[in-house]
Chain A
């Protein structure tokens, strides 16, 4: 029977293995979007041909056959027209041969042509090959699953944080100037609370679904936690709105803020009146001195 130390070591090895497997699975399930120019795509295409053990001469010949340009010309210099031709011809060839597993599209930005392609591990192997020194291959790295859901929900909550104060303030300043500042503040406060509670509910569901799925031994499609999260956020938002309407929470908050302002005004007025009495009137001066000396007393004594 293995000793506890041996058992612990074995568990650690298993844990490390599991972590490595999980990391590999996450990486293999992550689609990347790449943007390449004609020279870079040519480099990737040549690399793929080389990996198939095609000779340099055959590669050059096939390239000329496909694009009607020489390989050296494209590597050294490509004009606008030649770039577009090279990108579309090579893109079509790579897609046909299965080198691009996802989608590809040729776009024009600021007079330059690029190919935008997305793919999984197979394509990434060629694109990450250090021999080509791609200048800017990866523009967007898309995470699919809980991280994307979390990012979306965070941005949703942040949107509430920005949108509500902006719209409420603009409405107050330019549309309904008779509305009180307290009402604007109360609406902003309840909007933000509702937004955060709804986003929190969705965040919770988005996180719990994959966790429970893994406990049950199910693989879960990325769209499920994201979609359910969105629906739950909507339901939570409207349920909170309904509660707000039923129990008049925003209106009560407005009233509380108004009362608070009135109390503050009364308190500051009293302080101002006292200051005026003690320091601006002869009777008040005497009273202050009497109190200061510990004789006690009040107004009018």
Chain B
């Protein structure tokens, strides 16, 4: 694998400490965001299935975040290593640098592949769960919601073509409002 090479004269412990701290903090935030995204979809889906909402949105893109913490853990390790150099004030030997590259590189690669493959598998699994609860997927969800990576699930297939529902989506109404309207129309 191609690596950059640096002269030891370029060492800047203060820069390494600040940069490492920044990356470690960013990695922690990104891990927290990933966990939040995953918990968000689990909460939303669980609530929708439990309360038997007539319509709910599946956020298909958020399943990318099941494996994202792996990539951000790589970033965290990298940040911590830079911080360690900053605190020590002198660089680590090349063997450590190589080991760090192998570890972080593997985490990033596996994490990135896992994000896409995991998202595909998770979306299939969630779709099965929704079908088993009696929901149907609306065709052309993008044209209903105007949102990327969203799938509309309904308990009655007619709702996918209900002009009132489509108008409410078009006007940017929240799904909870649309559900209230649908329940009022078909109690």
Give residues in A with beta carbon < 8 Å to B. 18, 21, 25, 29-31, 144-145, 167-168, 171, 175-176, 178-179, 183, 187, 191, 205, 208-224, 227-228, 230-232, 234-235, 238-239, 241-242, 245, 248, 250-251, 254
Question: Which of chain B's residues has its CB closest to A244's CB?
Answer: B147
Query: How many angstroms between the C-alpha atoms of A171 and B112 in the bound complex?
Result: 31
A288 shortest CB reach to chain B, Å: 45
Query: How many angstroms between the C-alpha atoms of A31 and B2 in the bound complex?
Result: 9
Instruction: Give the B interface residue count (CB, 8 A).
Output: 63
Among A183, A217, A224, A234, contact of B11 (Cβ-Cβ < 8 Å): A217
Q: A224-B74, A227-B112, A235-B34 are in contact. Are A216 and B7 (CB under 8 A)?
A: no
Query: How many angstroms between the C-alpha atoms of A250 and B148 in the bound complex?
Result: 13
Among B11, B101, B143, B149, contact of A176 (Cβ-Cβ < 8 Å): B143
In the complex, whether B118 has a CB less than 8 A from a CB of chain A is no
A-B contact count (CB 8 A): 166
B residues near A215, Cβ cutoff 8 Å: 10-13, 15-16, 19, 82
Among B22, B62, B109, contact of A227 (Cβ-Cβ < 8 Å): B109
Are B7 and A228 in touch, CB under 8 angstroms? Answer: no
Name 15 extra pairs, CB < 8 A, besides A227-B108, A231-B112.
Answer: A21-B7, A167-B142, A176-B170, A187-B146, A212-B22, A212-B82, A216-B86, A219-B3, A219-B6, A219-B97, A220-B4, A221-B2, A231-B111, A239-B33, A254-B172
Among B78, B97, B172, contact of A224 (Cβ-Cβ < 8 Å): B78
Are B143 and A209 in touch, CB under 8 angstroms? Answer: no
Among A29, A217, A224, A245, contact of B104 (Cβ-Cβ < 8 Å): A224
Chosen A-B contacts, 9 in total, with CB atoms closer than 8 Å, are A25-B4, A31-B2, A211-B19, A216-B19, A216-B81, A224-B108, A231-B112, A234-B64, A235-B68
In the complex, whether B20 has a CB less than 8 A from a CB of chain A is yes
Query: How many angstroms between the C-alpha atoms of A30 and B34 in the bound complex?
Result: 35
B residues near A31, Cβ cutoff 8 Å: 2
Among B10, B86, B140, contact of A175 (Cβ-Cβ < 8 Å): B140
B residues near A25, Cβ cutoff 8 Å: 4-5
Are A216 and B172 in touch, CB under 8 angstroms? Answer: no
Give residues in B with beta carbon < 8 Å to A. 1-13, 15-16, 19-20, 22-23, 26, 30, 33-34, 37, 40, 61-62, 64-65, 68, 71-72, 74-75, 78, 81-82, 85-86, 91-92, 94, 97-98, 100-101, 104-105, 108-109, 111-112, 115, 140, 142-143, 146-149, 167, 170, 172
A281 shortest CB reach to chain B, Å: 42
A227 shortest CB reach to chain B, Å: 4
A residues near B143, Cβ cutoff 8 Å: 171, 175-176
Are B4 and A219 in touch, CB under 8 angstroms? Answer: yes
A1 shortest CB reach to chain B, Å: 21
Are B91 and A216 in touch, CB under 8 angstroms? Answer: yes
Are A178 and B167 in touch, CB under 8 angstroms? Answer: yes
Are B33 and A213 in touch, CB under 8 angstroms? Answer: no
Query: How many angstroms between the C-alpha atoms of A191 and B92 in the bound complex?
Result: 44
B residues near A224, Cβ cutoff 8 Å: 74, 78, 101, 104-105, 108
Are B71 and A228 in touch, CB under 8 angstroms? Answer: yes
Among B34, B91, B172, contact of A217 (Cβ-Cβ < 8 Å): B91
Among B33, B81, B108, B109, contact of A218 (Cβ-Cβ < 8 Å): B81
Are A235 and B108 in touch, CB under 8 angstroms? Answer: no
Are B4 and A145 in touch, CB under 8 angstroms? Answer: yes
Query: How many angstroms between the C-alpha atoms of A214 and B33 in the bound complex?
Result: 28
A residues near B4, Cβ cutoff 8 Å: 25, 29, 145, 210, 213-214, 219-220, 222
Among A176, A178, A212, contact of B23 (Cβ-Cβ < 8 Å): A212
B63 shortest CB reach to chain A, Å: 11
Question: Which of chain B's residues has its CB closest to A248's CB?
Answer: B172
Query: How many angstroms between the C-alpha atoms of A231 and B149 in the bound complex?
Result: 17
A256 shortest CB reach to chain B, Å: 13
Are A219 and B170 in touch, CB under 8 angstroms? Answer: no
Query: How many angstroms between the C-alpha atoms of A145 and B86 in the bound complex?
Result: 24
Are A234 and B68 in touch, CB under 8 angstroms? Answer: yes
B residues near A214, Cβ cutoff 8 Å: 4, 6, 10
A residues near B105, Cβ cutoff 8 Å: 221, 223-224, 227
Query: How many angstroms between the C-alpha atoms of A208 and B22 in the bound complex?
Result: 10
A202 shortest CB reach to chain B, Å: 12
